[in-house]
Homo-oligomer: A and B are copies of this chain.
Amino acid sequence: MSTLRQQNPLIHCMTNLVVTNFTANGLLAIGASPVMAYAKEETHEMAEAADALLLNIGTPSETVVESMIHAGQAANKKGTPVILDPVGAGATSFRNEMIARILQHVDITLIRGNAGEIAAILGEVGTVKGVDAQIKTDPVVLAKRAAEELKTLIVVTGEQDVVTDGSRTVTIKNGHEWLTRVVGTGCLLGGVLAAYLAINRDDKIKAAAEGLAYYGVAAERAYAKASDRGVASFQLEFLDALSTLSEEEAESFYRMEWL
Residues of chain A whose beta carbon lies under 8 Å from any beta carbon of chain B: 10, 12, 16-22, 24-25, 28-29, 33-39, 41-42, 45-46, 49-50, 58-62, 88, 91-95, 128-132, 181-184, 229-233, 235-244
Contacts and interface: CB of A to CB of B under 8 A. Distances in A.
Contacts of A182: 25, 28
A93 B39 contact: no
Contacts of A183: 21, 24-25, 28, 34
Nearest to A245: B230
Given A28-B181, A29-B232, 7 more contacts: A21-B22, A25-B231, A38-B61, A39-B61, A41-B62, A50-B130, A230-B239
Contacts of A45: 91-94
A184 B21 contact: yes
Given A29-B232, A233-B236, A241-B230, A130 B10 contact: yes
A196 to B, nearest CB: 18
Contacts of A17: 17, 20, 36, 38
A7 B231 CA distance: 19
Contacts of A129: 10, 33, 49
Nearest to A178: B243
A22 B131 CA distance: 17
B130 A91 contact: no
Contacts of A94: 39, 41-42, 45
A236 B25 CA distance: 13
Contacts of A59: 36-39
A42 B230 contact: no
B34 A60 contact: no
A238 B230 CA distance: 10
Given A20-B18, A183-B34, A236-B232, A39 B60 contact: yes
B244 A240 contact: no
Among A45, A88, A236, the most chain B Cβ lie within 10 Å of the Cβ of A236
Contacts of A128: 49
A36 B18 contact: yes
